[in-house]
Structure 1
Amino acid sequence: MLRIAACGSIGLGSALLIAALLLSTYTSSRIARIPLDIDTTLVSDGSGTAIDSASLSEQHIVTNKNVPLVSQQQVTVESPANAVVVTLQVGTSVRRTDRQKDSGLLLAIVDTVTLNRETAMSVSDDAHTGGAVQKPRGFNDESPPTAIPLRHEGLSYRFPFHTEKKSYPYFDPIAQKPFDANYEGEEDVNGLTTYRFTQNIGYSADGKLVAPVKYPSLYASEDDSKVTAPAAMWGLPGDPMEQITMTRYYAAQRSFWVDPVSGTIVKETEHANHYFARDALKPELTMADYEVTSTEETVESQVNAARDERDRLALWSRVLPITFTATGLIALIGGGVLASFSLRTESALIDPGLDRADDDLYRGGAAEPVPGAEAETEKLPTQRPDLAPESSPPGSDPPQLGSAEPPRDSEPPDSSPPAGSSPPERS
């Protein structure tokens, strides 16, 4: 039984050590992947200058300053989503909170992108665009949405696991191309250490408009990127009926606070500017110029999601490997001890002298035994006491010592001499 227990303990310890090695090398890399159950709503609020959509049907377009705005992103997982890739569908909208229903909607876009679950990079090539955007529809349009293939490159809506302190290409679905997100430093967000990245699209680092992007139209006729209207509609001096064509431009600045372990964006600020102009660097009519920041509820939710991802990674990459290693070493040592006891027990059963020699070893060496203390003694038979002290009569055999037969009861012999005889002579 000791031998079986020793083999079992050694086998268990070896298995635990192998499992710890696999967890720390192979399994942890399989765990560090974008989850497939993402379903969240990210909300940012702020203020800015925005167009009054009701004035579009009038003779002069009106813009309002310091209006309250809210930006909302609805993120869900779509097909294909498997062990290698995940597809995110993100619906983004910006609306004025001082207007009701559709009258307050300023911007809306539905973006779909397929990401590598490990690197968070878009999966695209010459044959596969890796994403799409929905073609804009009118408020009363009941037709199904139409997806326009759009090639995505770089990161989208997430950063990779174990984010590094470097620049990453981050895709902008409005500009339809990636721009660098540059590492700026570490900051604490609700007790979580994060990396802050900044992205400039058309702006310089100090917020100056330097190279705005011409708005890429989603229509073949470019109806949403170039607009021709009377000068009075644009609010320009001169002939009010003169037809003026203006081009729509876009520029933005973003800051991301990223959990470096899971790549989750826990907080975001965005300054976006949509405007019409004849000269790219001279805005003439602002459509929406706003700055929004993630709400406290959104930040708390994202921080909790990042902590959950951290705990999951720590469980499989540190806690379980360390636990399995410690338990495996204990099992191996225990198996070695049991094996030693098994050999000693077997030796004692085969040759008791070997076990006695081991006992002498544990007593500190082979000491010379004390005379008589440990010597084997010989048991002597006990003599029966003489129960008949008188001498036996002449001619009879003396009693045998140790005889088991008891003496028979008899008449004592007559010791007087016969009549007429003389006493015997004393020799």
Structure 2
Amino acid sequence: MNRAVALRIAACGLMGLGAALLIAALLLSTYTKGKIAKIPLDIDATLVSDGTGTSFDPASLVGEKFVVNENVPLVLQKEISVEAPSNADVVTLQVGDTLRRTDKQQDNGLLLALVDTVTLDRKTALAVSSDTNPGGSVQKPRSIDDEAPPTNVALPHDGLSYRFPFDTEKKTYPFFDPIAQKAYDANYEGEEDVNGLTTYRFTQNVGYDDDGKLTDPIPYASLYDNDEDSQVTARAELWGVPAEDPAEPVTMDRYYAAQRTFWVDPVSGTIVKSKDHGFHYYARDALKPEVTFADFTLTSNEETVESQVAAARDEGDTVGLWGRILPITFTALGLVGLVGGVLLGSFTLRAESALIDPGLDEADHGFFGRRPTDTGPMPAAEAQTEKLPTQRPSDLPPDRPV
């Protein structure tokens, strides 16, 4: 194999490699990214928010009067895990929520408990439903000593739950509230840095208006068969309300309202930080709270923020590698391969032509791009010719005139 053939094969190889890299870049940026940008199936997180608030004292249920304490330490904890059904298309999250007073022990400090289960589309983070799966459920309350299997009550979810979609946009999303059992708008408010990560800030109002005024509180949906925690009848003296007869029974309904702020990683949709203002109260008129059950504002603690930022970066790095870094790299290498192959092929063709017609290698052919500068006569015109000797007059015959 001569050198020209080898160069021609190398040129074809470079162009083929370049084309393959460009195709790979296109696939990575479209098909492969769609396969990678999904909610993970190995989520196992504990999210903790803490702060202070006003809280009902559960121990006062057996006292002479219901007691409400102010400025008590509170902790809101979410345990998130993955359950069945979870596969390539959907993921089912089970979330255990508890709100506790940390100045009380065991049941005396437990204010709220909820186990929420929801099945999400792994790409859009929207709740999905089927004939066998209504899109979600909540677990009926049990005491700590209850050893019977938990009983779930179907609760169809809609909108987002616990996450935002990959490539979160600056717009309004419906976000499900399991206590209100309904989705409410989460509105984009702006960008904000959280531990070095650029996040989108969203706010949600449940029962409040944008100015923080109580306008449309939600009747509390009890999970007990007898609705014992959504409507309570007790003596007036227990409620602490004025009445002619302290023993007069007074019935109050429980209401709920909330305001939330989410800080969301726009690449992965992970909520890296949250702030919850919850208000649970009893009243005879929905817009006139009388007895507070819990009124709190809690924010994700630093450990939770750090772990969520790390999880968001890991997911974002994976998506960025397959969806941005590798496609850009492959595109650049592909273009280099194509251009290099074309240049090498052009050089090879010129080299082969020069071997077939040696004149192509002369300066006046311009093979190397140079133009002839000598415009004098052809070399043949400069060849020396033999001159005949001139005869002198003495050499001529005497009878011939000069």
Q: Please state which band the TM-score falls in when normalised by the shorter chain.
A: 0.7 to 0.9
Letter in 1 for 2:331: T
Q: Per-residue CA shift, 1:324-355, capped at 9, x if unaligned?
A: 11111111122223323433444455x35255
Q: 1:43 to 1:359 in 2, by over 3 A?
A: farther
* Alpha-carbon separation, structure 2, partners of 1:260 and 1:128: 29
Matched, 1:365 2:398: no
Partner of 2:178: 173
* Alpha-carbon separation, structure 2, partners of 1:37 and 1:352: 69
Segment drifting more, 167-176 vs 314-323: 314-323
Q: Secondary structure at the match of 2:228?
A: coil
Is the 1:347–1:354 contact (alpha carbons within 8 Å) kept by the matching residues of 2? Answer: no
Q: CA deviation at 1:100?
A: 1.9
Partner of 2:168: 163
* Alpha-carbon separation, structure 2, partners of 1:354 and 1:323: 44
Q: Per-residue CA shift, 1:230-284, capped at 9, x if unaligned?
A: 2232223332322222211111111111222221112111111111111112222
Q: 1:222 aligns with which of 227, 247, 252?
A: 227
1:412-423 superposed matches below 5 A: none
* Alpha-carbon separation, structure 1, partners of 2:57 and 2:146: 21
Q: 2:258 aligns with which of 252, 258, 278?
A: 252
Segment drifting more, 300-309 vs 359-368: 359-368
* Alpha-carbon separation, structure 2, partners of 1:326 and 1:148: 55
* Alpha-carbon separation, structure 1, partners of 2:314 and 2:268: 9
Q: Secondary structure at the match of 1:17?
A: helix
Q: CA deviation at 1:125?
A: 6.0
Partner of 2:324: 318
Partner of 2:391: none
Partner of 1:390: none
Matched, 1:337 2:343: yes
Is the 2:359–2:365 contact (alpha carbons within 8 Å) kept by the matching residues of 1? Answer: no
Q: CA deviation at 1:8?
A: 1.4
Partner of 1:66: 71
Is the 1:266–1:306 contact (alpha carbons within 8 Å) kept by the matching residues of 2? Answer: yes
Letter in 1 for 2:294: A
Q: CA deviation at 1:103?
A: 1.8
Q: 1:27 to 1:369 in 2, by over 3 A?
A: farther
Q: 1:287 to 1:322 in 2, by over 3 A?
A: same
Q: 1:353 to 1:81 in 2, by over 3 A?
A: same
Partner of 2:237: 232
Q: CA deviation at 1:158?
A: 0.9
In angstroms, what is the RMSD of aligned CA positions?
2.3
Matched, 1:211 2:191: no
Q: Secondary structure at the match of 2:146?
A: coil
* Alpha-carbon separation, structure 1, partners of 2:129 and 2:178: 15
Q: 1:240 to 1:310 in 2, by over 3 A?
A: same
1:325-404 superposed matches below 5 A: 325-349=331-355, 351=356, 353-354=358-359, 356-357=361-362, 361=366, 362=368, 364-365=371-372
Partner of 1:29: 34
Q: Secondary structure at the match of 2:79?
A: strand
Is the 1:124–1:153 contact (alpha carbons within 8 Å) kept by the matching residues of 2? Answer: no
Partner of 1:411: none
Segment drifting more, 238-247 vs 322-331: 238-247
Q: Per-residue CA shift, 1:135-184, capped at 9, x if unaligned?
A: 00123211111111100011111111222222211100011111111222
Partner of 2:274: 268
Is the 1:229–1:244 contact (alpha carbons within 8 Å) kept by the matching residues of 2? Answer: yes
Is the 1:360–1:366 contact (alpha carbons within 8 Å) kept by the matching residues of 2? Answer: no
* Alpha-carbon separation, structure 2, partners of 1:259 and 1:230: 50
Larger radius of gyration: 1
Letter in 1 for 2:143: G
Segment drifting more, 169-178 vs 353-362: 353-362
* Alpha-carbon separation, structure 1, partners of 2:133 and 2:81: 21
Q: Secondary structure at the match of 1:200?
A: strand
Q: 1:242 to 1:161 in 2, by over 3 A?
A: same
TM (normalized to structure 1)?
Answer: 0.81
Identity %: 66
Q: CA deviation at 1:297?
A: 1.7
Is the 2:180–2:220 contact (alpha carbons within 8 Å) kept by the matching residues of 1? Answer: yes
Partner of 1:201: 206
Partner of 2:108: 103
Letter in 1 for 2:332: A
* Alpha-carbon separation, structure 1, partners of 2:266 and 2:230: 38
Segment drifting more, 227-236 vs 115-124: 227-236
Matched, 1:293 2:299: yes
Q: 1:100 to 1:348 in 2, by over 3 A?
A: same
Matched, 1:48 2:69: no
Q: 1:341 to 1:369 in 2, by over 3 A?
A: farther
Q: CA deviation at 1:371?
A: 6.5
